[in-house]
Structure 1
């Protein structure tokens, strides 16, 4: 019996069927990437979410009526150009680069719905929110609260816009080069989704996280108040008077890297110059947060930063202590960390050989106290000065303004969106949530304009990336030389 050769029609049909399966598989694979590790976060509070979802808060009749009555148009004041923005602002251009050619259409925005916790629309200086899912704790609430502060800080200057926001831990939007079928991915422009962090395998648009306006569940105060307390904490215990070891306190159960870090703790057989403590939030709640005051944790000459599920909001608190930050190699970045330089703002630690790496860093710093203090001061100056709240608002302003320039349609208010305003949000809360909202409110419109955003400069970005790699290699060479000298003395 001869082999039957398929007809051209059969081949064509089979080809298109296969192509359909590939596209279906592509859409299916999109789900676990975006949602599989959304809230992989140990929760000490008994539930995975806040008691009231944002949707429930927005559905309140009182809030809607309150916002409906605030219709007076704000005076739009004009200001001369401000001073140049800090260097990390240039990353705004890099985050928006995927949409430079195509622009952003309504279809692109709405394709990010499955990745988002909420949709934010600003029309005529007023904010409207459509919710899709409950976020962890009050992340969505304080993120929106921060955006409302921006609208009050620069009234009439925020353009109409329409965006999706993800409040989870991990980035949602895969970069083209990291997709299994790159040739298919190139046919699609990524969904523009805002988020708190990203990595080389993602294209999320990075934005300041909720904790700048307070993290009520763990009693971390709004940033503008905490900055003052951290400055006072630095003055309370000078660097030379601090313990000559490295300090870390946190939740080790959210990542393998953190659990491995605990092996570097003081033991009968080893002293790796590290003093590591587990933060038990259940006990802290019962004690009234007496052992978790961040301003009281600037008591060691060195602080350790290590990522959790993804990036950690603790980075800014650790860097602010005037102590050199010993930072494990990061996978994730937030909106400011890409401009931190190894050897200048922090000391890089090997993730694969972390215990000896920590010991070498502490020994090196104690042997070179002037240089160690310079690194600690540079890191805290970056955080306490370049990251003061005025600059955080300016970053938000420029990120949203540049994003709005890419929109290829006029934003309109979705039928399911609810109006949000300062009065309605603050009046409907109680306890620490309301306290932090009141403490983080801006004091009326700003009397100056935003800083001047630097233009796109790919060469500067590439130069910075090279400098960071060279600095890490230099530290690695010092470590190898130190180990070789120690081995020869044995």
Structure 2
């Protein structure tokens, strides 16, 4: 689910309607909300999205902008962290160990593919620094550079991060406004809207479905019968 697979060149004649958590301009995979929007995984500190966003927003108000550390905060893959330290330590101050709410800037860097961390970074009230994303999820295409985040090129990444941090520290009201706009954008993404997006995708998909009601019932019955081979039978003749 992490990486798109329906390449536009290979599948141009008959694109498959495959849902993925992310897509790219070169793929036809349909962006679909990821699991973290609606599941309750308290054992790993992930709650349903509406509840999680309220908690993040509340935490972001613990310090006002002037009291936040004038650094860029990043958390993720240890190998990428070493890359940041090796290349950036001499040109910028890293906020190692600082709480995510207490830094003015938060770095988003993709790893293997799209990362679920994007919505949390956008929600915490910091000014997001997004490093040239290759992948798009269902909501990130609505983000506007310099309004919801500061873009960071993947080439000359560390000087660009330092420049963004220096610019933000010399223009605190503008940097704070970007962080606030990102948070407001995520605040508008309620679960009602997420489910509206579900419905839109399904309704658009069914418009292209040529199955009749009768053939649909036959397929459903065949599927139900197939479950007899994988589910324990409660009583004789239950299937």
TM range (shorter): 0.7 to 0.9
- Per the alignment, residue 72 of structure 2 pairs with 246
Q: Hey, what does 2:198 align to over in structure 1?
A: 396
Per-residue CA deviation, residues 259-304 of structure 1 (Å, 9 max, x unaligned), is: 63343454xxx14133356xxxxxxxxxxxxx9xxxx621100000
2:26 is equivalent to residue 224 of structure 1:
no
- Structure of larger gyration radius: 1
Could you say if the C-alpha distance between residues 174 and 241 of structure 1 is closer, same or farther in structure 2, counting changes exceeding 3 Å? Answer: same
CA distance in 1 between counterparts of 2:96 and 2:208 reads 46
1:176-195 alignment runs, 5 A limit: 176=9, 179=10, 185-186=11-12, 188-195=13-20
Q: 2:35 aligns with which of 189, 210, 219?
A: 210
Matches within 5 A, 1:8-47: none
Moved >6 Å (runs of 4+)? none
Match of 2:83 among 237, 254, 260: 260
Q: For residues 199 and 258 of structure 1, what CA distance do their matches in structure 2 show?
A: 25
- 1:372 alignment partner, SS class: helix
- What displacement does 1:375 show? 0.7
Unaligned runs of 5+ in 1: 1-167, 180-184, 278-290, 419-490
Distance 1:402 1:355 in 2: 43
2-structure distance, mates of 1:240, 1:414:
63
1:450-469 superposed matches below 5 A: none
Structure 2 alignment gaps of length 5 or more: 226-239
C-alpha distance 189-367 of structure 1, shift in aligned 2 (>3 A) = same
Q: Structure 1 CA distance, aligned partners of 2:20 and 2:190?
A: 20
1:242–1:200 Cα change, 3 Å:
same
Q: Which has the higher contact order (CA 8 A, sep 6+)?
A: 1
Which residue of 2 is the match for residue 415 of structure 1? 222
* Greater fraction of residues in helix: 1
Looking at structure 2, the residues matched to 229 and 315 of structure 1 have their Cα atoms a distance apart, in angstroms, of 16
Q: Indicate conservation of the 8 Å contact 1:264/1:272, yes or no.
A: no
Contact 1:264 1:274 in 2 (8 A): no
RMSD value, Cα: 2.3
TM-score, normalised with respect to structure 1: 0.42
Matches within 5 A, 1:18-417: 168-176=1-9, 179=10, 185-186=11-12, 188-214=13-39, 216=41, 218-253=44-79, 260-264=83-87, 266=89, 270-276=90-96, 297-384=100-187, 386-410=188-212, 411=216, 412-413=219-220, 415-416=222-223
Q: CA deviation at 1:207?
A: 0.7
Q: CA deviation at 1:258?
A: 6.2
Please give the TM-score of this superposition, normalised by the length of structure 2.
Answer: 0.84
